Structures are given as C-alpha cells and as structure tokens.
C-alpha cells in the first residue's frame, strides 16, 4: 500500500451533497444504506468474524473518516478502524424472524454520527442453529448497493478460503 493512499482528499460532488444534507438534519437516517444476507446451514461464527474483519480492512470506503472545518470538508482513509461485531442470538424469541425484522427496522432508523467513526455497522443475528442473518449498514457517503454486493462477495470469498 502506498502512503499516498492515506492523504486527505476532497469529497466527491455526491458525497458533498450528502454531507451537507446530513449536517442540516443530523438525526435523519435516510442516508443509511442497509441490506441483510441470509445464511443457511452450518456457520462458523469465528470464521465469519475473521472474514468480515479482513474484508473491512481491505475496503477503503469503509475506513473513511470525514473531517470538516469552517471552509472545507475532506476525507481520509484510515489505516485501521476498530469496530464491534455484535452477535445477537434470537433463537429463544417466540418468533425469531419477526424479532430480527423489528431489530433491523429499529437499526434503520438510527442515523450515523458523521463526526465519529466508523460509518458502518455489521451484525450477525442467529435465528436457529442453522439460520443466520448478516445485517450490514453504512452511511451512503461510504457505500451504495453495488458496493455492498462487492463487499458481500469478498466476505464470501475470504470465508470459504
């Protein structure tokens, strides 16, 4: 990796629009991109976590940090981003699928704080011994639907290696 990769860069025009719109209404979650992936069969949770951590480390967009002063807004790709991977065991819920949907809807309504990082969350929800959901969310400054598809494909590749 070149040291130039970690220099400050201006936001793109699209990112700038999202940044200012979010600043006007910091509690608005509409710039949050979310998706979940259903996993069926035996899943090694330690390997899923390792695959997610490796893929986040390899994905510059998820390591963006945005800074602003009175005149400029810029982005840096951080070398390391520390983040938690919550694992929620919903197997004891009366209806695990409904409980997972409720949790995901609630998460969708929580906006990201752009002054702090990271600007993504990943959560594993276990519905049964062989049924999991990987819930992924990111601020649209960092990821869109196409980016999520590439991210998930890479997680799958790392996991199966």
What is the reported pLDDT for 145? Answer: 87
Q: What is the CATH number of the domain that holds 119?
A: 3.30.559.10
Per-residue pLDDT, 6 = 56
**In terms of Cα–Cα distance, which of 141, 145, 144, 136 is closest to 55?**
136
Evaluated on CA atoms 119, 53, 81, 1, the torsion sign reads negative
Which pLDDT score, from 0 to 100, does residue 1 have? 46
CA 146, chain centre distance (Å): 13
- Distances in Å between the alpha carbon of 125 and those of 88, 98, 113, 144, 145? 5, 12, 23, 22, 21
49-53, 61-65, 80-84, 88-92: least confidently modelled range: 80-84
Q: What is the pLDDT of residues 122-161, one digit of tens each?
A: 999 999 999 999 999 999 999 988 999 999 999 999 999 8
List, for residues 46-73, the tens digit of each pLDDT value.
999 999 999 999 999 999 989 888 888 9
**pLDDT above 90: residue 102:** yes
Judged against a pLDDT cut of 80, whether residue 5 lies above it is answered with: no
Contact yes or no for 37/97 (Cβ under 8 A): no
Give the range of the structural domain holding residue 109, as residue numbers without chain letter.
Answer: 3-160
- pLDDT tens-digit readout, 17-32: 999 999 999 889 999 9
Q: Does residue 2 have a pLDDT over 80?
A: no
**pLDDT at position 87 over 70:** yes
Measure the CA–CA gap between 111 and 108, rounded to whole angstroms: 8
Q: How many domains does the chain have?
A: 1
DSSP 12: P
The answer to whether the Cα torsion of 160, 144, 54, 112 is positive or negative is negative
N- to C-terminal Cα separation, the chain? 23
| 3-class DSSP assignment, residue 135 | strand
Q: How far is CA 27 from the centre of its chain?
A: 18
**What is the pLDDT, as a whole number, of residue 4?**
47
Question: What is the Cα 113 distance to its own chain's centre?
Answer: 13
């Amino acid at each position: 990796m070149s040291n130039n990769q970690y220099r400050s860069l201006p936001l793109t025009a699209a990112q700038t629009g999202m940044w200012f719109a979010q600043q006007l209404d910091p509690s608005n979650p509409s710039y949050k991109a979310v998706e979940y992936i259903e996993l069926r069969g035996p899943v090694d949770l330690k390997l899923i976590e390792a695959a997610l951590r490796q893929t986040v480390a390899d994905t510059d967009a998820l390591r963006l940090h945005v800074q602003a002063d009175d005149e400029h807004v810029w982005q840096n790709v951080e070398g390391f981003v520390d983040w938690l991977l919550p694992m929620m065991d919903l197997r004891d819920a009366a209806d695990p699928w409904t409980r997972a949907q409720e949790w995901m809807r609630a998460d969708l309504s929580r906006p990201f704080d752009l002054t702090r990082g990271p600007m993504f969350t990943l959560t594993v929800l276990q519905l049964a011994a062989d049924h999991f959901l990987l819930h992924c969310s990111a601020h649209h400054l960092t990821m869109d639907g196409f980016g999520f598809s590439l991210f998930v494909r890479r997680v799958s590749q790392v996991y199966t290696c």
